[in-house]
Structure 1
Amino acid sequence: MSRKKGESIIIDDQIEVKVVAVEGDVVKLGIEAPKSVSIHRQEVYRAIQEENQAARMADFDPEWLRAKLSRSRGK
């Protein structure tokens, strides 16, 4: 799919991605979407995912898991 400056695409009847400017290798996009839709650059999204994973691992309590497994096995 190709778009020129000022042209856009519509996603799922509610998200519009518009080419605002093209400056050399850089394409500037304008995005209109419902507030419930998160929009991030890919590198920011990946950093958020990595931090969330690290937080989940930091909150992991192996003793709690052992106790839960022991109770579920009837021990």
Structure 2
Amino acid sequence: MADSAKTQKRKEKKPSFVDGVQKEWKKISWLPKERAGRQTAVVLIISALLAVLMTLIDSGALALVDVIMR
């Protein structure tokens, strides 16, 4: 009897990793394309503005150090 119980346990199929991922993937609620596009545009614009601001601050600091060092 012990052998048949072991054999039966071996025959049981374990859920695969891929099956688990597919089940979880279906649970995700994705943003509509329009909203995702708008949010991406906002992030890019803010990033560009911050880059310009940081460049201006850096240039100003460099000019100030140059004036002090002369």
Provide TM-score, normalisation by structure 1. 0.36
User: Larger relative CO (CA 8 A, sep 6+): 1 or 2?
Assistant: 1
Higher helix share goes to which structure? Answer: 2
Higher strand share goes to which structure? Answer: 1
Greater Rg by CA = 2
